[in-house]
A and B are shown apart, each in its own frame.
Chain A
Amino acid sequence: MVKSIMKSLAELQAIRDKARGSLNIRENAEAQTRILVGMATCGIAAGAKPVLNAFVEEVAKRELKDVMVTQTGCIGICQYEPVVEVITPGKEKVTYVKMTAEKALRVVNDHIVNGNVVSEYTIGANAIGAK
């Protein structure tokens, strides 16, 4: 690996900022909002992996430092997988169902960043029998 010799503090700063992003994930202490993606067999079979990756990438891209994306197991509503739960302290837990990578981007934008729950993706709007 050939690296260029740095000659200024600005170059050091640039490397610092670039490397910083990948290290943030190792500090979970300040995480406020948790995005839990159901990654049991049912979830993975229904396509939870691209959803998980979409969340991780979008959160990193937007530099949302207080958000933690993690997997969880099966919560028992396998027919609705991929299931994603968003837990914010002091607020009611929001459960999104039948998620896709595209829907994930909208959840990050509308819900995580702007605070508006995407109600059409929630379990309430998609439950069997609901219209």
Chain B
Amino acid sequence: MYRSNVLVCGGTGCTSSHSEQIIERLNEEIKAQGLEKEVNVIRTGCFGLCALGPIMVVYPEGAFYSRVTPEDVPEIVSEHLLKGRIVKRLLYQETVVDDNTTKSLNETTFYAKQMRIALRNCGVINPEKIDEYIALDGYAALGKVLTEMTPQEVIDLMLASGLRGRGGAGFPTGLKWKFAAANDADQKYACCNADEGDPGAFMDRSVLEGDPHSVLEAMAIAGYAIGASQGYIYIRAEYPIAVKRLQIAIQQAREYGLLGKNIFNSGFDFDIDIRLGAGAFVCGEETALMTSIEGKRGEPRVRPPFPALKGLFGKPTVLNNVETYANIPQIILKGADWFRSIGTEKSPGTKVFALGGKITNTGLVEVPMGTTLREVVEEIGGGVPGGHTFKAAQTGGPSGGCIPAKLIDTPIDYDNLIAIGSMMGSGGLIVMDETTCMVDIAKFFLEFTVDESCGKCTPCRVGTKRLLEILNKITSGNGTLEDIDKMEELCYYIKENSLCGLGQTAPNPVLSTLKYYRDEYVAHVTEHRCPAGACKALTNYTIDADKCKGCTLCARNCPVGAISGTVKQPHVIDTNKCIKCGVCMEKCKFGAVVKK
């Protein structure tokens, strides 16, 4: 029996800031103090507050340590674990109350508004121990399904719950299962899409790293419901920690007989294998993903036939996203009414978002559907740092669009986001402030889709390339008003004619920025000016002669010798020589260098 549990985040974010070394050091120090029988060190999944990583939580006190370094470990062990004195300087500021007491994590603004269903075990259990998952009702849903319910009852429950696909499109999960169940075949498949590719999105990775068994359990449930005996998880090779934990989880589930033949003596067989993706964005599209599992080049094909009829190896297949699966065991155990009581009428449940960009609390949050963007950004996210103001949020990655500041009170659900020209997407949420140029953002996403277009269909392969060329023309100051109109027309053409979801949604970043920030496009074209000061070709550095003291610091630091002037006299920047690196502005102590 351990008297203290030390939970250290082993998600990718914290691992990249040395949480592995912290765990090693902890074990050494604990041994040196003779506490190894009293203190238990556990590597967990992501806590969500990645901005403050590496994160360590010590129970029973619930002390939440942030930005821990391996050098802090001896102090934590000798002070807190041995003597019970919480190391206050390392506590997450918001949890400090007074003397020796701390506030519970759930009372901090970051966690208070969250509701964790898909992430419920992340940061709570050791993902490499199946017993800990079982302790928190793991595999009870599979047990219930196999011993008490018929496949049809499972499908009816999923339909009643209203769960929609968390991969982005929001198709009802129950309906998908119903179609696949209705098609007879000698072999069917239940697969998991873990090919998370949107820039800035890491929800699925965190679920797999923190709670891999929830996905395995749900896949087995899906297999039972549709009559499949084999499952595949398609995951990108860039997620090594998630892959490793999945392998361990599959192995442990097989040892317990929770995967394999005749599970719970019910006669139901189900096993899962992992297939690694090489990181092509298009392989997140369902038909391309299945083509890739088959061992072929990952390219999409025409639908119909839909996967429910002809999917993997030409057999009926259900393909759900990681986060969708992570919700399912809870729905089975707690019922459709419970799930429907959360979120909105048409989008029940919660959604996980990966907060990134210009936001204080970078990290992972799970909120009920219908939470407003303002609550997510300003309250949970802690607002925009550095005294800047919120300009827009980008959801849905390269397939989505932006939500401008004026719509910040929009409740987030599938239908509302589509209505305002964005989409839920898999859950990346990138926050932008007034220094972000919307044309530049559209260009960033277009560069991504041009790179990732598989090249099979012309509208996507050539169309996105032409779009990017026009955007480059505009951001370099050579665009015309006709270009903007032509670009808009091309966007609709690509949307309507592309083969798969990649091309059909690729113009969305351009269309939504055009919708809300057309004036910025126009300013680039007619005034040769970037209102946000982000497009290099359109900004010029000048020196305000009234403020310049003639200290020569800028001239000495200019890498191209573009600044001239004599000591104690105002200096001048030669705009022909200037490469707009911004060093002069950084160095000037008097704020005399201005960017226009």
| Chain A interface residues toward B at CB < 8 A | 1-3, 5-9, 12, 15-16, 18-23, 25-29, 31, 36-41, 43-44, 52-53, 56-57, 60, 68-73
Bound Cα distance A66, B313 (Å): 54
Interface residues of B in 153-209 (CB under 8 A from A): none
Instruction: List 25 A-B pairs, Cβ < 8 Å.
Output: A5-B260, A7-B257, A7-B265, A12-B139, A12-B264, A16-B138, A18-B131, A18-B135, A19-B134, A22-B1, A23-B136, A25-B5, A29-B104, A37-B84, A39-B84, A40-B83, A40-B85, A43-B83, A44-B82, A52-B3, A56-B38, A70-B61, A71-B83, A73-B84, A73-B100
Cross-chain contact of B135 among A8, A20, A43, A71 (Cβ < 8 A): A20
Bound Cα distance A58, B5 (Å): 17
Q: Is the interface of B mostly helix, strand, loop or mixed?
A: loop
| Chain B interface residues toward A at CB < 8 A | 1-5, 7, 38, 40, 59-62, 82-85, 100, 104, 106, 124-125, 131-132, 134-140, 143, 147, 252, 255-258, 260, 264-265
Of chain A, the residue at the smallest CB distance from B148 is A9
Distance in Å: Cβ of A58 to nearest Cβ of chain B: 10
Contact A6 B60 (CB under 8 A): no
| Across-interface contacts of B260 in A (CB, < 8 A) | 5
Of chain B, the residue at the smallest CB distance from A41 is B83
| Across-interface contacts of B258 in A (CB, < 8 A) | 6
Distance in Å: Cβ of B530 to nearest Cβ of chain A: 50
- Do A26 and B124 contact each other (CB < 8 Å), given the known contacts A5-B256, A69-B3? yes
Contact B137 A69 (CB under 8 A): no
Bound Cα distance A22, B136 (Å): 11
Given contacts A5-B260, A40-B85, could you give 4 more A-B pairs where the C-beta distance is less than 8 Å?
Answer: A6-B256, A39-B83, A56-B38, A71-B85
| Across-interface contacts of A31 in B (CB, < 8 A) | 60
Distance in Å: Cβ of A14 to nearest Cβ of chain B: 10
- Do A3 and B256 contact each other (CB < 8 Å), given the known contacts A9-B147, A28-B60, A69-B60? yes
Cross-chain contact of B140 among A16, A18, A25, A29 (Cβ < 8 A): A16
- Do A12 and B134 contact each other (CB < 8 Å), given the known contacts A70-B60, A70-B84? yes
Cross-chain contact of A6 among B38, B83, B257 (Cβ < 8 A): B257
Contact A22 B124 (CB under 8 A): no
Distance in Å: Cβ of A125 to nearest Cβ of chain B: 25
Contact A23 B132 (CB under 8 A): yes
Contact A68 B60 (CB under 8 A): yes
Bound Cα distance A36, B100 (Å): 11
Contact A25 B2 (CB under 8 A): yes
Of chain B, the residue at the smallest CB distance from A3 is B255
Cross-chain contact of B143 among A9, A21, A36, A69 (Cβ < 8 A): A9
| Across-interface contacts of B83 in A (CB, < 8 A) | 39-41, 43-44, 71, 73
User: Closest 9 CB pairs between A and B?
Assistant: A71-B84, A5-B257, A19-B135, A56-B3, A19-B131, A39-B84, A3-B255, A20-B135, A7-B265
| Across-interface contacts of B40 in A (CB, < 8 A) | 22
Of chain A, the residue at the smallest CB distance from B59 is A26
Of chain A, the residue at the smallest CB distance from B62 is A28
Of chain A, the residue at the smallest CB distance from B138 is A16
Cross-chain contact of B106 among A29, A37, A60, A70 (Cβ < 8 A): A29
| Across-interface contacts of B62 in A (CB, < 8 A) | 28
Cross-chain contact of A56 among B1, B61, B106, B134 (Cβ < 8 A): B1
Distance in Å: Cβ of B254 to nearest Cβ of chain A: 9
Contact B59 A25 (CB under 8 A): yes
Listed residue (A56, A57, A70) with the most chain B CB atoms within 10 angstroms of its CB: A70
Of chain A, the residue at the smallest CB distance from B44 is A26
Of chain B, the residue at the smallest CB distance from A49 is B38
Contact A72 B100 (CB under 8 A): yes
| Across-interface contacts of A40 in B (CB, < 8 A) | 83-85
Bound Cα distance A25, B62 (Å): 10
| Across-interface contacts of A38 in B (CB, < 8 A) | 84
Distance in Å: Cβ of B38 to nearest Cβ of chain A: 7
Bound Cα distance A70, B147 (Å): 42
Contact A19 B100 (CB under 8 A): no
Distance in Å: Cβ of A27 to nearest Cβ of chain B: 8
Contact B125 A72 (CB under 8 A): no
Distance in Å: Cβ of B91 to nearest Cβ of chain A: 15
Bound Cα distance A35, B196 (Å): 46
Distance in Å: Cβ of B441 to nearest Cβ of chain A: 41
Of chain B, the residue at the smallest CB distance from A10 is B143
Bound Cα distance A52, B3 (Å): 8
Cross-chain contact of B84 among A9, A18, A72 (Cβ < 8 A): A72
Contact A73 B85 (CB under 8 A): yes
Bound Cα distance A18, B264 (Å): 19
Of chain A, the residue at the smallest CB distance from B139 is A12
| Across-interface contacts of B4 in A (CB, < 8 A) | 25
Of chain B, the residue at the smallest CB distance from A40 is B83
| Across-interface contacts of A43 in B (CB, < 8 A) | 83
Distance in Å: Cβ of B370 to nearest Cβ of chain A: 26
| Across-interface contacts of A56 in B (CB, < 8 A) | 1-3, 38
